[in-house]
Amino acid sequence: MNGGFELRLSDTIAAIATPPGAGAIAVIRVSGPATPEICDRVLAPRVGPAFSRSRARYARLVTIAAGESALVIDTALATLFRAPRSYTGEHLAEISCHGGRVVPQSVLSALLAAGARAADPGEFTLRAFLAGRVDLAQAEAVASLIGAGTEAAARAAHAQLDGALSRTVSAARNSLLDIAAQIEAAIDFQDEAGDFEHESVARRLQQTGADLAALLETARYGAVLRDGIRIAIVGRPNAGKSSLLNLLAQRSRAIVTPIAGTTRDTIEQEVNLHDLPATLVDTAGIRATENAVEAAGVNRARSELSHCSVALAVCDISGPCGVEDEAIVKYAAASAPAVVVALNKVDIAGHDHGRQTAGRVADWCAAARPVCVSALTGEGRTELITAIAEASYGGHADERPDGALILAERHRLAVARAAAAVGSAQQTCLAGMPADFIAIDLRGALDALGEVTGEAASEDIIERIFRNFCIGK
């Protein structure tokens, strides 16, 4: 699998591991067999032996100089990790120098001049994977953890880095390997005692299939953690769409005015709704209009509805709710995957009226979830967020006791393929088909699961995954 990678593994690589810009500290990583010697050409410890003879994992104060000319670049702390006890499993050095635009770049240039090669994107983590320090799902978790937008997303990525998903996938894989061994034996010894119990094999397949299906269910929440949800706010002009956006975002972003038809363009706002990453899109109100500019906005509202995860239809219940609101709610329900109806201005309308209107909304559209709110006082904000969460992904955080959660689309596709192959193996088995037929399905399932953790991932897949990392990871 890693034949093509081997050539490059003999190189010693270096990269700046921290983001560019003015920071107090920048970290430069060096990894590969020649790390100690290359560092000796650039780093001079203030006291004690040469850097290559450092005690592993102890930070040392060093002067960094650019080769022969001995121009001092910086004074830094450097740590040597010896193979295999390092992030990459190779000899690795981490140099913490001053940040900014000049120093880290000069340190890196000095290391490159001393014999290191500039690391490719994700190459440190690729090396950790190739050295067996982490499996593929764990390596991918590094990128998810760095890219996490909320604490819940970071927790999920960390659990994956810790091996939660890998353990669940491996457990399913091991049970399939067991079944495969039983079936292979039946194929090899067809005329002897090699016949297998179709029913017991089918039962075991059913159990593994159920485990995979349960794991697959976590993907809906995983996608929410990864991509967030997109909420299109629609409603009559002056219903309080901009005010609700501000309430959810908890700051003034959209311009709120009492003149109907003022939100001409869509306004987007990234928010964290109780740890749920979301993009709120305030649209122009949907209504027939003579005004061309507003008409363009209305078209955009329609397009937003078809692209969002959930529509938030806002009705002003301080006045009469009528055919126009009904049309909007029905339109939103027909265009968007789910719809929540905010019965706004309950501070004026009162709760009795709110409840009555909620009953009417249920008549308009059974799937819509009505919630009484006041964008002015903030009442109902929590209930509204709960309704949005339920509408968009079922509202369950899907935190399994084993912590396994499918965050990546690649993993979802692979597990879905494995689950389908297991289902098909079960059917084949129940139909009393010969063992060879079951073995083919089992092989498909094993390969699909092996793609998640990397045992059965092609070099192509691996290259593609790491190419999306940034330099220094």
Q: Which residues bind ligand GDP (CB under 6 A)?
A: 235, 237-243, 256-258, 263, 344-345, 347-348, 374-376
Closest CB to ligand GDP among 42 and 280? Answer: 280
Closest approach of ligand GDP to the CB of residue 333, in Å: 19
- Smallest Cα–Cα separation from 138: which of 156, 163, 121? 163
Closest approach of ligand GDP to the CB of residue 275, in Å: 25
Closest CB to ligand GDP among 12 and 344? Answer: 344
Closest approach of ligand GDP to the CB of residue 235, in Å: 6
Closest CB to ligand GDP among 136 and 239? Answer: 239
Length of the chain: 473
CB-nearest residue to ligand GDP: 240
Going from the C-alpha of 111 to that of each of 27, 123, 398, 432, the distances in angstroms are 13, 17, 46, 65
Closest approach of ligand GDP to the CB of residue 438, in Å: 60
- Smallest Cα–Cα separation from 64: which of 36, 40, 44, 34? 44
- Residue 130 burial class via C-beta count within 10 angstroms: exposed 0-12, middle 13-18, buried 19 and up: buried
Closest CB to ligand GDP among 56 and 296? Answer: 296
Closest approach of ligand GDP to the CB of residue 233, in Å: 8
Closest approach of ligand GDP to the CB of residue 248, in Å: 12
- Residue 80 burial class via C-beta count within 10 angstroms: exposed 0-12, middle 13-18, buried 19 and up: buried
- How far apart, in whole angstroms, are the C-alpha atoms of residue 82 and residue 31? 10
Closest CB to ligand GDP among 190 and 377? Answer: 377
CA-based end-to-end distance of the chain: 22
Closest approach of ligand GDP to the CB of residue 236, in Å: 7
337, two tokens = 């995957």
3-state secondary structure of 31: strand
Q: In what order do the strands lie in the sheet with 276-282?
A: 267-273, 276-282, 229-235, 310-316, 339-344, 369-372
Beta strands in 196-275 (DSSP E): 229-235, 267-273
Closest CB to ligand GDP among 134 and 388? Answer: 388
Going from the C-alpha of 5 to that of each of 2, 115, 134, 425, 463, the distances in angstroms are 5, 19, 16, 35, 9
Closest CB to ligand GDP among 218 and 242? Answer: 242
Closest CB to ligand GDP among 35 and 242? Answer: 242
Q: Which residues pair with 75 in a beta bridge?
A: 63
Alpha helices, H only, 25-163: 35-42, 103-113, 123-130, 136-147, 151-161
Closest CB to ligand GDP among 137 and 342? Answer: 342
The DSSP code for 198 is H
Closest CB to ligand GDP among 271 and 452? Answer: 271
Q: Are 311 and 387 within 8 A, CB to CB?
A: no
255, two tokens = 């311009």
Closest approach of ligand GDP to the CB of residue 242, in Å: 3
Q: Are 462 and 410 within 8 A, CB to CB?
A: no
Closest approach of ligand GDP to the CB of residue 118, in Å: 51
Q: Which residues pair with 14 in a beta bridge?
A: 30, 118
Closest approach of ligand GDP to the CB of residue 267, in Å: 9
